[in-house]
Amino acid sequence: MTAVDYSKLFRLDARTVVVIGGGSGIGRESAQALAAHGAHVVVADLKIEGADETVQLIAEAGGSAESFQLNVLDDAEVEAAAERFGTASALVFTAATNVRKRMEDYTLDEFDRVVNLNMRSSFQLIRHFGKRFAANGGGSIIGFASIRAQVVEPGQGVYAATKAGLVQLAKTAAAEFGPQGVRVNVVAPGVVETPLTAQIKANPEWYDAYAKKSAFGRWSRPEELAGAVVYLASDASSFVTGSTLMVDGGWTAIDGRFTPPAS
């Protein structure tokens, strides 16, 4: 048996990783972390200016990256991107949106907007990149779900449904592409300080209630998701597929917000 060099378990040297949504937030931090571990990162985003800024940050740190404009709602663009970058070793996608409304108040236009970005585009990315990775001997696909795939609250119905759907898509893709060496997993954050949660952060009572739900008494920061991405993109997770990696500060593990007396 060949000895494993564990010092290189998380290294991504000579590999290309595509990060969709890499122009800001969790995607930007993930892109920087992947580059720091040796990957050449394709920073893809609808807003090319944000992608360019991420590339600049990576370059300033001595890493390798390129920017790429991509609209994940355009099927032809997604298929072309998969063809162009199909020899990459990993795909990471973070793009999502939310409309916080109770179901009775939702419009079908709002429903379509959330489902199309969160669910339909995920389906397209997974199947097109999965097919290309499979043809090239394997790869890792990493999507971003949420605690809302498991636990919900009023006003989160459609968003939660799309994230639960992504979890099941990942499991199915893991089964279908696994024989060709393709791994498919999702990261499930708790509440992260990103533009998507700005509405909550602006309300002190709401913000504090969410902070108390974490075992650490605070929200997570985007950079705290980057380690999970590096792990799932690297050989450190070579036998991990069809899984949901919770990075939620204990949100889904802890029962309630009250600490009872021990005796």
Q: Is 249 helix (H, G, I), strand (E, B) or coil?
A: coil
Taking only the tens place, the pLDDT of each residue in 8-57 is 999 999 999 999 999 999 999 999 999 999 999 999 999 999 999 999 99
> Is residue 99 predicted with pLDDT exceeding 70?
yes
Q: What rounded mean pLDDT belongs to the chain?
A: 95
State how far the Cα of 187 lies from the Cα of 247, in Å rounded to an integer.
7
Residue 112 lies in a domain: yes
Nearest of 140, 146, 142 to residue 165 by alpha carbon: 146
Catalytic residue among 159, 207, 210, 231: 159
Q: Is residue 98 part of a domain?
A: yes
Distance CA 93, CA 140 (A): 11
The one-letter code for the residue type at 89 is S
Task: Report the alpha-carbon distance of residue 198 to residue 171 in Å, rounded.
Answer: 31
State if pTM tops 0.85: yes
Secondary structure class of 147 (helix, strand, coil)? helix
Question: What's the number of domains the chain is made of?
Answer: 1
Q: What is the mean pLDDT of residues 120-134?
A: 98
Distance in angstroms (rounded) separating the CA atoms of residues 191 and 181: 32
- Label residue 263 by pLDDT band (50, 70, 90): low
Tell me which residue of 65, 71, 81 sits closest to 131, measured CA to CA.
81
> Which residue segment(s) compose the domain that 191 sits in?
13-246
**Domain assignment of residue 3, yes or no:** no
Q: Is 159 a catalytic residue?
A: yes
Q: Is 254 among the domain residues?
A: no
- Residue 128 resides in a domain: yes
Q: Is residue 2 part of a domain?
A: no
> Phi, psi (5° rounding) for residue 176?
-75, -35
Nearest to 157 by CA among 95, 200, 102: 102
In the predicted structure, residue 259 carries a pLDDT above the cut 80 = no
Angle between the N-to-C axes of helices 108-115 and 157-177, in degrees from 0 to 180, rounded to the nearest 10 = 30
Task: Report yes or no on 86 lying in a domain.
Answer: yes
* In a domain? residue 256: no
CATH number for position 104: 3.40.50.720
